[in-house]
Amino acid sequence: MSLRVVTHAALLGHDPGEEHPECPRRLVAVLHELASAADISVEEVDRVATLEELSAVHDPAYVTRVLGLSGGGALDHETFLSVGSVEAARRAAGIVIGAVEALAAAGTGTTFALVRPPGHHASASAGMGYCVFNNAAIGARRALEIGVERVAILDWDAHAGNGTQALLGHRSDVMIIDVHQDGLFPRGAGRVDERGTGDGLWHTVNAPLAAQSGDADYVHVLDTLAAPLLRRFAPGLIIVSAGFDAHWTDPHAQLGVTTDGFGVMAARIRALAAELGAPALLVLEGGYDAAALGRNVRRCVEVLAGMRDGGSIEGHPSEEVRSIVAEQLAAMVGRVAERTGAEPGGPHAR
């Protein structure tokens, strides 16, 4: 399976301050770690999202407001923009759009988009949680526009992807699977009873995990909840909102995932994408221990590129996690239509 790793130097221009958790050193640490690894190249992609592309997901008034803050400003009490932030946000979305277009055209492959500012908290008309434009949702919308019949979004960031669920949770051609720390941020988001709305009812599934949940819990969710649902849904593209703040050293969550755990999770994505005949796009979200973020991204890249296997993890999932998975499977499986006749590389991939 081919792998591209893509970014742009202008993303470092988003600089809300060195004391801010979402500062340039996050991406610097990732790029430094990848540069020290043999046979890993990072491609700089010159793609800027247009007003029309952003407005396909966000309210035009919100897009206009953000674009008007090219000199800096604030979207809320913790989401700050510097002079280079608007360009960075547009490029982040543009890089994701370009990656989607390339993957859809090829019908195969994997891309890791090293983008910032992150996106999964951004809703139609508001940025929050350090997020400006919802990169994963913008990518999913573009995929559907160019003929991908169904898109799956797997969000493994420690925080609930409330923006993604608000933007796409009403669609039956999008499945959202979100595993995160229960009650972390935003408060009240990502509950087990949030299962989509309208035509998208039963196409959103949340797995809120207790603090201190670790490798075995995350992998159990992927193996016994995400995998069977995605097999039924048969997406033509898998997008991973790849946050790394579930790592045990991260200061903004209280979870216990290790670098080995992220490697196993990447291996699961690689295997599932191959099984379904669907391209995969990983979009960087959170992760606020910069050194750990670099190591975790490197491990995922090495696994996705086939440079190393996923390895193994220790321990067993907690009874609470087993219960959540069982509850969600009982609620979802009978209501998610099983797609038949979808062949690797076939019509569902375009």
SS3 string, 114-140, reads: CCCCCCCCCCCCCCECCECCCHHHHHH
Q: Which domain holds residue 313?
A: 7-336
Closest of 311, 245, 293, 312 to residue 31, by C-alpha: 293
Residue type, 17: G
DSSP H helices, the chain, are 25-35, 51-55, 60-67, 85-106, 135-145, 162-168, 215-221, 227-233, 259-276, 290-304, 319-332
Q: Is residue 209 part of a domain?
A: yes
Q: Residue 209, SS3?
A: strand
Q: Is the pTM of this model over 0.85?
A: yes
37-76 pLDDT, tens digit per residue, is: 989 999 999 999 999 999 999 999 999 999 999 999 999 9
Query: What residue has token string 């674009």?
Result: 67
Distance CA 337, CA 203 (A): 10
Would 346 be classed as within a structural domain? Answer: no
Distance of CA 24 to the CA centre of its chain: 19
- Of 281, 270, 204, the C-alpha closest to 239 is 281
Q: What domain count does the chain have?
A: 1
Supply the pLDDT for residue 340.
Answer: 53
pLDDT of residue 1: 54
Question: What amino acid positions are annotated as catalytic residues?
Answer: 121
Spans of the chain, pLDDT less than 50: 341-350
Residues 302 and 256: beta-carbon distance below 8 Å: no
Query: Does residue 90 lie within any of the structural domains?
Result: yes
For residue 327, is it within any domain? yes
pLDDT number for residue 333? 83
User: Is residue 320 one of the residues assigned to a domain?
Assistant: yes
DSSP assignment of 335-350 equals: GSPPP-S--TTSGGG-
User: Domain with 198 in it: what CATH number?
Assistant: 3.40.800.20
Residue 265 lies in a domain: yes
Tokens standing for residue 268: 């699961």
For residue 226, is it within any domain?
yes
CA distance 82 to 226: 38
Residue 350 in any domain: the answer is no
What pLDDT does residue 123 have?
A: 98
Write phi, then psi, for 26 (nearest 5 degrees).
-60, -55
Let me know: does 215 contact 247? Beta carbons within 8 Å.
Answer: no
Q: For residues 243 and 191, give the distance between their C-alpha atoms in angstroms, rounded to a whole number.
A: 19
